[in-house]
Amino acid sequence: MEVIKWQKETFSALRRQGIDLVCHVPDAGHAKVIEMCEADNEVDCITCTSEEEGIHMLSGAWLGGRRGAMLLQSSGVGNIINALAMPNTCRIPILIIVTMRGEYGEFNPWQVPMGQGTPACLEAMGMRLYRAEEPTQVAPAVENMARLAFDSQQLCAILLSQKLLGAKDFRELAK
């Protein structure tokens, strides 16, 4: 599958914001951005065994002076709730980009509860959310939520809606 424009723009926006560390749990919706990160020698790309690890590796990295971001799927949001307590309490900036499941056009009912619960779970832990529905919203969202995170020391999440990602693409990617 070819890289589409908003994915290229997401990668460029991350780099413009000085983000050179990307933690992820592999996800079809993020696959192209992960590939671009891995292809860039200046970006460290770390596969995490669970999403909560990524939140605390990013926290440790920031204590060491480095800016990172976490790429995950909405089903993985359930794994980071308690992990967010630490950066929340210590005012350590966190930036996550979440590909949404369980909404617009979803074919798998098992994905629905966590997908629908994602915004409330993140907000309950003090995260600031921005939801992107259109491709043109993604790059500005990455730039501005990165500023909010790192300049104002906030926990920030960009939710990439399933309408934006295209529910049908998941079936293609899964082949």
Partner 1 sequence: MIRSEVTKSIIPVITDELVVCNIGLPSQELFMHDDQPSNFYMLGTMGLCSSIGLGLALNQNAPVLAIDGDGSILTNFGTLATIANNPADNFTLLIIDNGSYGSTGDQPTYAGKKTSLSKVAKACGCANVIECQGEEAAEEVGKALKGNQMTIIVCKCESGNVPVPNILTHPVSIRDRFMTEVEARN
Q: Is 96 helix (H, G, I), strand (E, B) or coil?
A: strand
Decide if 17 contacts 146 (C-beta within 8 A): yes
Helix or strand holding residue 173 (H, E): helix 167-174
Residue of the chain from 85, 134, 152, 171 that contacts partner 1 (CB under 8 A) = 85
Residue 98 — left, alpha, or beta (φ > 0 → left; ψ -120 to 50 → alpha)?
beta
Q: Using the rule CB under 8 A, is 57 a contact of partner 1?
A: yes
Closer CB to partner 1, residue 55 or residue 145? Answer: 55
Residue of the chain from 24, 32, 56, 101 that contacts partner 1 (CB under 8 A) = 56
Closer CB to partner 1, residue 2 or residue 42? Answer: 42
Q: Which two tokens stand for residue 114?
A: 């966590």
Closer CB to partner 1, residue 16 or residue 91? Answer: 91
Residue of the chain from 4, 16, 18, 50 that contacts partner 1 (CB under 8 A) = 50
Q: Using the rule CB under 8 A, is 127 a contact of partner 1?
A: no
Residue of the chain from 86, 105, 112, 140 that contacts partner 1 (CB under 8 A) = 86
With CB under 8 A as the contact rule, which of the stretches 7-15, 87-95, 115-123, 137-145 interacts with partner 1?
87-95
Q: What b-and-e string marks burial along 14-36, b requiring 16 or more CB atoms within 10 Å of the CB?
A: bbebebbbbbbbebbbbbbbbeb
Tally DSSP H helices, then E strands, for the chain.
9, 6
Residues that bind partner 1 (CB under 8 A): 21, 44, 46-50, 52-53, 55-61, 63-66, 82-83, 85-86, 89-92
